[in-house]
Amino acid sequence: MKKIICIFLVSIGLTITVNAGTVANQRTFRISKNLSIFNSLFRELDLFYVDTLNYDKVMKTTIDAMLAKLDPYTVYMPEDETDDLKFMTTGEYAGIGSMIMKKDNDIVVSEPYEGMPAQRNDLRAGDIILEVDGKNISKLSVSEVSTMLKGVPNTFIKLKIKRYGVKSPIEKVFLREKIQVNPVGYSGKVAEKVGYVLLNEFTDRAAIELRSAVNEMIKQHQIESLVLDLRNNGGGLIDEAVKIVGYFVPKGTDVVTTKGKNNEADRTYKTPLEPVFPNLKLVILTNRSSASASEILSGAIQDLDRGIIVGERTFGKGLVQNVRPVGYGGHLKVTTAKYYIPSGRCIQALDYTHRNEDGSVGRVPDSLTSEFKTKNGRKVRDGGGIVPDSLIIDERKMNIAYYIFVQNLYFDFATMYFQQHPKVELPANFVLSDDDFKEFSKYLLEKKFNYTSQTEKYFNELLETAKYEGLDSIAKNEFSALKEKLVPNIARSIQENKSDIVELLSLEIIKRYYYQKGEIQYSLRTDKDLKIAINFLMSDSKYLKKLTPLHDKSASLK
């Protein structure tokens, strides 16, 4: 009997082995078959297509189209994009330290970084770049000009620029430097014993720069609470997020687990060191653009009941990417796993593996999400980003202030304003005067500023459909009355939306004098999310209540 059982088990083992081998052979055959077809197709195109092929461009287009069917984060980066890869992970590049943009047909300096070669050599926002090292750049793209501005550290570069209010072109010579963009955009005291840090990205110095900023505030202002701003932070390196969580929780705490098809992708990240800020009360600010590593950090802090999350629901990117070399200097940034935060939940919001017939992807419905619990037993859910403990809905409307912004008119007016006003008040005290607002209103009218709202576009489409179906004459009076209300009255709309316009214009003006830090300082004055965060941190009872399950009334702040 034992012999029969043994033979039976061996037979099963052989069957499994044969089946596994068959599947592997089929997979290998299908890969070889499709590569052979592609190789033949490419050769046929090269031999018989009517025009000469740009091989690199055709191949890049082919690869991009293939990867686009997977998810937005799996991308191919050829050798000429290696600098972009380095900048994503380190925040470092060699150049003059300035952002540029396309405006009309010109390449324009949009923001020089404070303390960098561009700013030190008086390159200003609004300057139009005419030439780089004697080459006319009028027909080049932003990326092409950006490549020209970058280069080897300690090499010279010459720019010819056109400046508002100056008749003749200006020539400037810069020495390229290694530009290290600090991931901490701003830090400072925002209330009694409350510090604030804006973290823009998770590059390889994110954790150490944040630690330095918080230590400095503890030393200077004796802060006991911290607001960590992750709004608009699209993420970066997982390790940096784990290190930052480790500043606030015990050594060896599980922060995030990655799980993929390949066992190599399975890993649990634990906090590496003893906490350096174990007693700091913590509030994290998030919005719909907080993604990836931002969600690991905020989600772990929420799951571990170590702090309060305030703001909007986060983006919902629970996918992990690795960068792999693929030859000839190129790299593949490939999605290898999903990540799971301490409660066990995955926060991926979109399902890229099951696309709709039109190729679009859907958000995970709330009805299909699962409930999990934090360390203290508070209820949280998966499948759609991090839902803050204090959820804030952005009630701002897409009014005239937005359309002024997209037409770069705040930018243009600020360029003129800077030439006419040698200095302005500090960001903490700056107030746009009524006379300045009147000047801006006059400027908009002189520029014949106009726009078509989304509502008006839909109305025009409706009217065209009504004409096609012969219904326009039946509802002629109603259509006329509705159009009267929808077509904007520019002068009236400017006055009705004065507060929004003043805020955006003030930010652009402040940036000309005090750069990015000044812009942040000014915006914090009226930041509603920040005020809510401070309110929690200034009250032990309110802070503790948010971290306690509804049924538990016995907890006390330690």
What is the C-alpha separation between 343 and 368, in angstroms, rounded? 17
**Which residues are bridge partners to 361 per DSSP?**
none
List of residues 6+ apart from 359 with CB closer than 8 A: 69
**How many CA atoms, within 13 angstroms, populate the side-chain half-sphere of residue 416?**
10
Determine which one of 160, 243, 281, 317 is catalytic: 317
517 has catalytic annotation = no
Scored b (16 or more CB within 10 A) or e, 266-286 reads: eeebebeeebebeebbbbbbb
Q: What are phi and psi of 136, to 5 degrees?
A: -65, 130
**Quick one: which of 394, 409, 396, 404 has its CA closest to 493?**
404
Q: What are phi and psi of 292, to 5 degrees?
A: 55, -115
Angle at 264 between CA 262 and CA 267, to 5 degrees: 115
Evaluate whether 113 touches 516 at the Cβ level (below 8 Å). Answer: yes
Determine which one of 71, 229, 254, 303 is catalytic: 303
303 has catalytic annotation = yes
The CA–CA distances, whole Å, from 6 to 10, 15, 17, 208 equal: 6, 14, 16, 60
What is the C-alpha separation between 518 and 504, in angstroms, rounded? 14
Determine which one of 292, 294, 298, 493 is catalytic: 292
DSSP 338-350: EEE-TTS-B---B
317 has catalytic annotation = yes
What is the C-alpha separation between 80 and 94, in angstroms, rounded? 15
Evaluate whether 530 touches 524 at the Cβ level (below 8 Å). Answer: yes
Evaluate whether 534 touches 449 at the Cβ level (below 8 Å). Answer: no
Q: Give the three-class secondary structure for 188.
A: strand
H or E stretch at 30: helix 2-48
**Which residues are bridge partners to 225 per DSSP?**
194, 281
**Active-site residue set:** 292, 303, 317
